[in-house]
Amino acid sequence: MNDAPSAPLAVILAAGLGTRMRSRRPKVLHPVCGRPMLEHVLGVARTLGPRDPVVVVSPATDAVRDELGADGVSYALQAEPLGTADALRTAMDAVPPDLDEIVVLSGDVPLLRPGTLHELVALRRAADATIALAVIRPADPHGYGRIVRDREGHVTRIVEEKDADEATRRIGEANAALYAFSASWVRSRIGDVAPSPATGEYYLPDLVAMAHAEGGTVVALEVADERELAGINDRVQLAEAEAELRRRIVEAHMRAGVTMLDPASVTIESGVELAPDVVLEPGVILQGRTRIGSDTLIGAGSRIVDSVVGERCRVWSSVIESSEVGDDVHVGPWAHLRPGARVGAGAEVGNFAEIKSSTLGPGSKQHHFSYLGDATIGEHVNIGAGTITCNYDGQRKHPTHVGDRAFIGSDTMLVAPVRVGNDARTGAGSVVTHDVPDGMLAVGVPARLRHRAAVGEPPGDRSGGRATQPPQTEPAAEDRAPRA
Ligand code: UD1
Ligand code: CA
């Protein structure tokens, strides 16, 4: 018995222009469920084993390299798109000479399932065939290469639509452009493919007739679901693929324990992770590298991008971007966590609250029309309604620190850089331009700012404002009002 065969090498053809997309972007870079369609194909190809797939690009699709990078993939450059056989010939330079087997895929089939590819490889090995190819019976075979079989049912050749006569065009069985080959055979014969008399292109499917003519075995895998192998050529097909892949992703999450009240309205990109017992209301959009912990409810219309949300949270009608939310947190309705927001366990971020590059400590509350930017807020702090960190002086951003258990009164302006100590308080409507020590109370507006406002003077630079009288500070009252 032979040793187990080594993993095949995947060649992905992506040098064609994709003109029917009517786009400046190469076709294979158009996203499906948040990832370029080529990345879906690469993901399937990588399930074959450890070898990096080879992607064939051309000068017209060279943007593919810039976007996908060189991690886990290598490239072959087809100087001119002379046809699929020419593309494969170009790729053979990147195939190690001792390799047994290659598979060839198109870059525009984002719905391909790994299982189909593995079946094809297994079929070729079982038959010890020169070529195994996937075939489909599309509802409308127009545009596909047609499968020609002999009386015994053996595949003898493939005829492209443009080269086919009337009788051949009536054949309903079509080439799906997914192949497994003996690598050494391809190496010896790929240079012999002749251009089509009809179009001048070098057709990869012509290898089938060559293998058959020399007595090699060609086997066909019939794939029942034509959608899986339908190439995306225009934006209508792109939208259909998006809908189908979205449906598959949503279904997989439901089977893994996620509740969805209206799955058809939910969009989940392929990199998202959801724990069991997450509940998604209608119209939720989850994107990028988002992770959500168990028993968390994501309310209607929320969008969460590249963020981590803990367990037992409740997010209502909010937007969360590149942020971290701890366990037992309430967000929204209508809150916006912008990049760099970190919300500690048990905190609350309420109506029309916005947080950017800031930490809101565990158990702290920020409700009602409030903005925190570049701020570090301690534990069990109350941020009163309308509180704003004035973090930007027109040129630079400045930090704000608020200590544990501080109580920030309604409509406080925290003029950064500024520190409010532990257990400190600010009165409603205060403009805080100086640090407030631990346990102290700041109230009012600095006198110089009041004067300027009264006489209509321009505010001048910030240091001028700071040089004047500090806000009145006094020890916080022992019998503080209970927190809101
Ligand atoms: C191809 C097959 C056809 C099959 C159909 C299935 C050929 C000649 N025909 O036709 O039998 O039924 O797929 O969808 O192969 N590409 C290159 N370099 C080139 C030309 C194409 O890399 O010079 C790439 C394209 O980017 C694409 C793939 O090869 O990813 C297929 O090319 P395309 O022009 O779409 O072939 P079809 O006409 O669809
Ligand atoms: Ca195609």
Measured in Å, residue 379 CA sits from the centre of ligand 1 at 60
Which residues, 6+ apart, have CB-to-CB distance to 153 below 8 Å?
A: none
Task: Tell me, yes or no, whether 308 and 159 share the same domain.
Answer: no
1 occurs within a structural domain: no
> How many other CB atoms are there within 10 angstroms of residue 484's CB atom?
13
Q: Which residue has the higher pLDDT, 480 or 146?
A: 146
Query: Cβ(110) to ligand 1 under 6 A?
Result: no
Query: Cβ(87) to ligand 1 under 6 A?
Result: yes
Domain of 25: which CATH number?
A: 3.90.550.10
Question: And the tokens for 202?
Answer: 């070098």
pLDDT level of residue 477 (50, 70, 90 thresholds): very low
Phi (first) and psi of residue 56, to 5 degrees:
-90, 120
Of 229, 247, 279, the domain-final residue: 229
Count of domains observed in the chain:
2
Over residues 207-223, the mean pLDDT reads 97
2 occurs within a structural domain: no
Q: What is the pLDDT of residue 456?
A: 52
Task: Tell me, yes or no, whether 257 and 225 share the same domain.
Answer: no
Query: Cβ(13) to ligand 1 under 6 A?
Result: yes
Over residues 364-389, the mean pLDDT reads 97
Task: Tell me, yes or no, whether 214 and 241 share the same domain.
Answer: no
Task: Tell me, yes or no, whether 212 and 275 share the same domain.
Answer: no
What's the Cα-to-Cα distance from 66 to each of 63, 265, 457, 464, rounded to whole Å?
5, 33, 53, 49
Measured in Å, residue 31 CA sits from the centre of ligand 2 at 17
Q: For residue range 106-116, what is the model confidence (pLDDT) as tens digits? A: 999 999 999 99
Task: Tell me, yes or no, whether 215 and 248 share the same domain.
Answer: no
Task: Tell me, yes or no, whether 221 and 368 share the same domain.
Answer: no
Task: Tell me, yes or no, whether 211 and 272 share the same domain.
Answer: no
Of 199, 229, 259, the domain-final residue: 229
Q: For residue range 125-148, what is the model confidence (pLDDT) as tens digits? A: 999 999 999 999 999 999 999 999
- The sign of the dihedral angle between the CA atoms of 41, 44, 46, 48 is negative
Task: Tell me, yes or no, whether 299 and 425 share the same domain.
Answer: yes
Amino acid identity at 126: A
Share of the chain above pLDDT 70, in %: 91
Of 184, 214, 229, the domain-final residue: 229
Pocket probe for ligand 1: among 41, 84, 199, 234, the residue whose CB has the most ligand atoms within 8 Å is: 84
368 occurs within a structural domain: yes
Q: What is the pLDDT of residue 388?
A: 97
Is cis: bond before 276, omega within 30 of 0? no
3 occurs within a structural domain: no
Question: And the tokens for 155?
Answer: 């595949």
Amino acid identity at 333: P
Reply yes or no on whether the pLDDT at 328 is more than 70: yes
Task: Tell me, yes or no, whether 296 and 445 share the same domain.
Answer: yes
Residue 319: give the domain boundaries: 235-479
Burial track 89-117 (b if 16+ CB lie within 10 A, e otherwise): bbbbebbeeeeebbbbbbbbbbbbeeebb
**Exposed (0-12), middle (13-18) or buried (19+): which is 399, by Cβ within 10 Å?**
middle
Reply yes or no on whether the pLDDT at 468 is more than 70: no
* C-alpha span between 311 and 135 (Å, rounded): 46
Task: Tell me, yes or no, whether 139 and 239 share the same domain.
Answer: no
4 occurs within a structural domain: no
Question: And the tokens for 405?
Answer: 């258990």
Reply yes or no on whether the pLDDT at 5 is more than 70: no
| Atom 29 of ligand 1, nearest CA residue | 13
Reply yes or no on whether the pLDDT at 194 is more than 60: yes
Which residues are registered as beta bridge partners of 400? Answer: 375, 418
Task: Tell me, yes or no, whether 71 and 208 share the same domain.
Answer: yes
Residues constituting the chain: 484
- The sign of the dihedral angle between the CA atoms of 157, 163, 167, 172 is positive
Q: For residue range 44-67, what is the model confidence (pLDDT) as tens digits? A: 999 999 999 999 999 999 999 999
Domain of 330: which CATH number?
A: 2.160.10.10
484 occurs within a structural domain: no
**Which ligand approaches the C-alpha of residue 17 most closely?**
1
Task: Tell me, yes or no, whether 413 and 380 share the same domain.
Answer: yes
